[in-house]
Amino acid sequence: MNITTAKTAGFCFGVQRAIDKVYDLLREGNERIFTLGPLIHNEEVVRDLEEKGVHIVDADSIGALDNATVVIRSHGAGEDIYRLFEEKGLKTVDATCPFVLKIHRIVKERSEKGDYIVIIGDSSHPEVQGICGWCRDDYAVIKNAAEAEAFEAPESRKLCVVSQTTFNLNKFQELVEIIKKKSYNNHVLGTPTILNTICSATEERQREAREIAARSDVMLVIGGRSSSNTQKLFEICSEVCGNTYYIQTPVDLDSEMFQRSSYVGITAGASTPKKIIEEVREHVRTEF
């Protein structure tokens, strides 16, 4: 059996940076460490941190903290969260991904100039929620074609379109075309400003995953169930490989997946540790 593992599989720069910051805090002997939401969308990593004394806190519970260090994860947070940290006098470690910080700056500056911000992404995702928290006025979040078609562009304001960093590039381009047509009444103000803020690592990961899946009999996508970028990888691979499986660990594998399979492809989301990827590859190699 031939097994191909994507070179881009596993932790991205932003996730690795956030994890390193938290483990550095532990090594320095810091106590009462909290992360604003789960540090990453990987249950095993979060469990390991909890066992080491790193706790999860949500925005509603921050006010009850005293003498604590709070880590803002790579997804980022809204401006109101930073103000709350300052008011409480909490030590803050900002592990927001630089690609996400760039979007925060864009929507803040553009909305202050009067642009109407359109965010392509999932409104329930913490990254998108953080981006919304930097908009100075009304904004819209659009995640699919139906929502794009239903969107009514304001007549008197120019649009500025950005994207969640982990969004599917092809879908982003599809939604942008719909929005452009919907904003025909803005012709006096000029065409919408379209900013592809999908991070370069995500684009490369998606491109490589599609290429591997297209030449594989079976494609394995490894990642936590709540990981947005892993879900996007699964969607992309499923389009070109009918036998695509979304798994979290080797436990999810079974022999039926590999019947009459000569080529197996493996990729993983940005929150998947290298150790799990290697365990899956080894399990496939030795057991099937």
Euclidean distance between CA atoms 159 and 67, whole angstroms: 43
pLDDT confidence band for 246 (50 / 70 / 90): very high
Burial 246-270 (b: 16+ CB within 10 A, else e): bbbeeeebeeebbeeeeebbbbbbb
CA distances from 158 to 132, 140, 155, 187, 231 (A): 18, 13, 8, 9, 32
CA 32 – CA 268 distance, rounded (Å): 32
pLDDT band at 157 (very low <50, low <70, confident <90, very high): confident
Identify the architecture of domain 99-194 in CATH. 3-Layer(aba) Sandwich (3.40)
CATH of domain 13-96: 3.40.50.11270
pLDDT band at 169 (very low <50, low <70, confident <90, very high): very high
Please check whether the two domains, 2-10+201-287 and 99-194, share a CATH topology: yes
Q: Which of the 8 DSSP states describes residue 236?
A: H
Instruction: Pick the more confident residue, 163 or 42.
Output: 163
Catalytic residue, candidates 28, 43, 127, 287: 127
CATH (one of 3.40.50.1970, 3.40.1010.20, 3.40.50.2300, 3.90.1640.10) for 2-10+201-287:
3.40.1010.20
Could you tell me what percent of the chain has a pLDDT over 70?
97
Which run of H or of E encompasses 125? none
Which range, of 39-43, 175-179, 181-185, 189-193, averages the lowest pLDDT? 181-185
Closest by CA to 124, choosing from 206, 49, 63, 41, is 41
Question: Which residues lie below 8 Å from residue 12, measured CB to CB, with a gap of 6+?
Answer: 199, 201, 202, 205, 270
12-44 per-position pLDDT tens digit: 999 999 999 999 999 999 989 999 999 998 888
Active site includes 51? no
> What backbone torsions phi and psi does residue 255 show, to the nearest 5 degrees?
-65, -30
pLDDT, residue 184, reads 60
Q: Which pTM was predicted?
A: 0.91
Q: What is the DSSP letter of 115?
A: P
> CA 177 to CA 199: how far, in whole Å?
20
What is the predicted pLDDT for the residue at 29?
Answer: 94
**What are the sequence ranges of the domains in the chain?**
2-10+201-287, 13-96, 99-194
Read off the pLDDT of residues 202-224 as tens digits, 9 standing for 90 and up: 999 999 999 999 999 999 999 99
pLDDT band at 107 (very low <50, low <70, confident <90, very high): very high
How many Cβ atoms are within 10 Å of 230's Cβ, its own excluded?
26
pLDDT, tens digit, 9 for 90 and up, residues 70-91: 999 999 999 999 999 999 899 9
Asked if pLDDT for residue 186 goes beyond 60, the answer is: no
pLDDT for 190 = 67
